[in-house]
Amino acid sequence: MDNTSFSDKLRKLTHPLLLPSARLLGRLGFTPNMLSLIGMGAYVVAALVLAAGRPGLCAAILILFGPLDVLDGTLARDTGQESDYGAFLDATLDRYEEFFIYAGLLYHMVGNLHEGPFSAIVVISALSGSFFVSYARAKAEALGFECSVGILTRFERIVLFILALLTGWFDSIVGIIALLSFVTTFQRMAVVAKQVMKNEGG
């Protein structure tokens, strides 16, 4: 059974295209951890821009700096700078990035668009669902299980988030993120359960 997510497969396919950019950044003096921190800084700026009522500019920032989420790992592998702390830092900053952009979205929808409680619940559900997906994988892998499967991983969530910014269909698209994030969490629970049963049966 292939437990690899679409985003992991895409990362492998795009590796040859991203490698030259990662090497260029390395020659310019950037380290993988620096790229991770710059990426989080970009998300903070994007969240502030969104909270100020500029969803189009927020989308542009995410599109421009989003590749850093992949380039930091590409640079680490290419230069032999992979480390447990680097992986921990990257994963932790990823969670902060999602928190910031959803907080910015919540402020925009309630403060600028004057949406009601339903919209707030949708945004909070999407953020919670995103955290559940990430936690399920982290906990499973900490216990020695393979758990990267899922219909909606971080890559797909960000793509849908940008689509919501560009179209203004916040309730519907963010609602889809929330729903599919919970589906993905249950997918991962099922995958781990199958591995447990297989190990016990063996």
Q: Domain ranges in the chain?
A: 6-201
Picking from 147, 156, 152, 155, the residue whose alpha carbon sits closest to that of residue 194 is 147
- Report CA-CA distances (Å) from 22 to 61, 78, 89, 114, 172: 19, 8, 18, 42, 36
Q: pTM above 0.85?
A: yes
DSSP 151: S
Picking from 160, 151, 158, 142, the residue whose alpha carbon sits closest to that of residue 190 is 151
131, 98 Cβ separation under 8 angstroms: yes
Q: Which CATH architecture has domain 6-201?
A: Up-down Bundle (1.20)
Confidence (pLDDT) at 174:
98
Q: What confidence tier does 150 reach under pLDDT thresholds 50, 70, 90?
A: confident
Confidence (pLDDT) at 19:
85
- Report CA-CA distances (Å) from 17 to 11, 70, 71, 190: 10, 11, 11, 34
Take residue 116 and report the two structure tokens written for it.
């009601």
Q: What confidence tier does 6 reach under pLDDT thresholds 50, 70, 90?
A: low
Mean pLDDT value across residues 181-196: 95
Is the confidence at residue 33, as pLDDT, over 50?
yes
Q: What confidence tier does 1 reach under pLDDT thresholds 50, 70, 90?
A: very low
How high is the mean pLDDT of the chain?
91
